Structure 1
């Protein structure tokens, strides 16, 4: 059973998850515009193409659901490299995202899961999902030349709640070094700098 404080925290995180999902889907909607997008051109994320980025984010929903349901990091390996774009990238994304949400509502989020970057609670995993959707929506926006406007509440939440796990993943080499930013930088710019993006 959740305490009242945990319930309030979970509701706030769920609302922010919805905002992060919307950021991501708005980018996917641009793929359906009248001007076809070449999915095999570079995305805004390292060496990944747009196709690889879209596969990674949709597949992340499935991987996190597997972990919340008690699966191991090894169990998630089979999902990497699968095609999550297909004929309906938005539908495929929501299919796996809804399954993840159902698992998050059903399981004990204080229980540790076997993430490939180390054991962490289900609650931390969901914060990572919000971070993943938010940051990768920026990568997709950069690739497509579309605007990226996360809300201050979302970016402030991630700067606060994701800081510890981001630092742990940085130590493991999964996230780049903190980039410099000015003291007057907006929360969104500070978030990008914190996760190693200029």
Structure 2
């Protein structure tokens, strides 16, 4: 009887030490398939290296942040990225440029190969924004492209692209879908810009 009582008390105490954490949902950006047929031939014989994007430190982590009332930044407690936005956006830009056939070849920043041109990327905005009373949310993406001659280090062309999409729903999932759509718009703008530069 004493043993049973002791075991019951022990189980009760141990169960009090365990805590249940809410499930964290991981989100990823979808792979963009942009139908872009380029007629430009000015860069067909040039190789391009896509440098790792410059961004704020918050876009280099898995934390998924949002902005409330234009100034206050919070993090979702039950949602995070499965890969940092910085890395994901860099790889998507490289993939999109490979598929565009604008350049002879496109390499990422870790490649040991030498290239004729370098594309520097600066992620200026990649965030879900909520209105003050939380009744509206949209996703904003702002990215600048700078094309550089790798031999002379001279800037050939530079431009910033912005896009905004209404969030599909007032939560992390809706924000991700909005960011996906806005990023696709920015990539399309970026391809158009490089197409003009390469004419």
Q: Which has the larger radius of gyration?
A: 2
Which range, TM-score by smaller chain?
A: under 0.3
TM-score, normalised to structure 2, is: 0.24
Identify the structure with the greater helix proportion: 1
TM-score, normalised to structure 1, is: 0.24
Identify the structure with the greater strand proportion: 2
